[in-house]
Amino acid sequence: MHIEALFDPRTSTLTYLVWDPATLDAAVIDPVLDYDPMAVGTFTESVDRVTALIEAHGLTLHWVLETHAHADHLSGSQELARRHGAKVGAAEAIVGVQKVFGSLFHLEGMATDGRQFDGLFADDAVVQAGSLSFRAIATPGHTPACTTWQCEDALFTGDALFMPDFGTGRCDFPKGSASDLYDSIQRLYRLPDETRVFVGHDYQPGGRELQFETTIGRSKRDNKQLRADTDRAQFIAWRTARDATLRPPRLLFQSIQVNANAGHLPPAESNGRRYFKLPIGVFPVSDDA
């Protein structure tokens, strides 16, 4: 198995292209569709980078797998699926996210039964991407539908577990839970220490160079927010207090409308234009807004 990481500096997102060098079977995890908030338009620079690698290595892309419905970037899953004939998959718990945000945004035309995805996977399900096998490990907390994908000795943790010097994902989105996140990470910590961890974002604290790979053993020992010996009540109290100080992600509303809909942009209205909805008053206004 070969893993290629592609970093989007605009959203600090890691996309992973995973392939079998023997069979050239491949999968992509958490792709980005670039978005210009001032122009209210998308472009495909990040997807183009993935496509260039797929074509350069002669790969067959079978699946695009999402770790969750991201709140900070639009998913490039549908563009990759269209270009390469791949399928798009996520956790079956995504239907709960669809119901919550379908109601919040009053998206009457959006199905909330997950039919937009080609595959919805339960905890411990296995997704076969040609010769590659990906096991779904339910890791709710950041969102209720977060999944860590395991392929051989590698974990792709999305926003559950970050590099040790940054910590863990926030838990203040609808149906998020610091308690659930603690339990989810403890589940990962029961895996062998040498298990590799590939994170969903790297925010480069202190201005350090990009990092995206760690191990379960290092995380258990060094994660600044949740080590193996961190008390459950202590983590929940700290995470809850910390999250209360955080502002919403810059692209939250645009991202969720696309990502809960399996990467599909909003449908065109009667005038032929597509629109994002921005609900007013969902979050308190900050003094420095």
Give per-residue pLDDT as tens, 42-92: 999 999 999 999 999 999 999 999 999 999 999 999 999 999 999 999 999
Domain that holds residue 153: 2-259
Q: Hey, is 205 helix, strand or coil?
A: helix
What average pLDDT score do residues 147-152 get?
98
Q: Whole-model pTM?
A: 0.96
Confidence of residue 29 (pLDDT cuts 50, 70, 90): very high
CATH of the domain at 70: 3.60.15.10
Residue 38 has a CB neighbour count (10 Å cut-off) of 5
Percentage of the chain beyond pLDDT 90 is 94
Q: Residue 214, class by beta-carbon neighbours within 10 Å (0-12 exposed, 13-18 middle, 19+ buried)?
A: buried
**79 is a domain residue:** yes
Cα–Cα dist 215/153, whole Å: 10
**276 is a domain residue:** no
**271 is a domain residue:** no
Give 160-210 pLDDT, tens digit per residue: 999 999 999 999 999 999 999 999 999 999 999 999 999 999 999 999 999
**118 is a domain residue:** yes
Tally of structural domains, the chain: 1
**289 is a domain residue:** no
**227 is a domain residue:** yes
CA 261, 265, 270, 276 torsion: positive or negative?
A: positive
DSSP 8-75: ETTTTEEEEEEE-TTT-EEEEES-EEEEETTTTEEE-HHHHHHHHHHHHHT-EEEEEE-SS--SSSEE
**272 is a domain residue:** no
